[in-house]
Amino acid sequence: MNNKMTIFYSKFTGNIEGVFSGEVNYDVFVDREEDVKAYCIRKVANFDGQFLATFFNYKINLETNKVEIKNQVNITL
C-alpha cells in the first residue's frame, strides 16, 4: 500500500482537481497535462484513504495552505 498521495489543486481557487494514490506527476492527466500544469499546484501528502475517497467535499485554503470543507448547500425537497 502507498504511504503517500498526490493532490492537484487550482492555484486560483483552491478547488481540488484530482487526488491520486502514490507520488504521481502531471502526466496522469494524459491529454490535459499542459492545461493542468498551467493552473494547478501539485502537493504530495501522507496517504489518507478517507480523504482520497471524498476529496470532492474539500478545497485548499490558499491563504493558509490547509484543507477545508467546502461550503455545503442545503436543498429542500
pLDDT band at 76 (very low <50, low <70, confident <90, very high): confident
Name the phi and psi angles at 62, rounded to 5: -70, -20
Please state, as a whole number, how many other Cβ atoms lie within 10 Å of the Cβ of residue 19.
21
Helices (H), the chain: 33-39, 49-54
pLDDT digits (tens, 9 = 90+) for 50-65: 999 999 999 999 999 9
Contacts of 74 (CB under 8 A, 6+ apart): none
Residues pairing with 9 in the sheet = 16, 41
- Share of residues in the chain with pLDDT > 70 (%): 99
Question: pLDDT at residue 1 above 80?
Answer: no
pLDDT digits (tens, 9 = 90+) for 13-66: 999 999 999 999 999 999 999 999 999 999 999 999 999 999 999 999 999 999
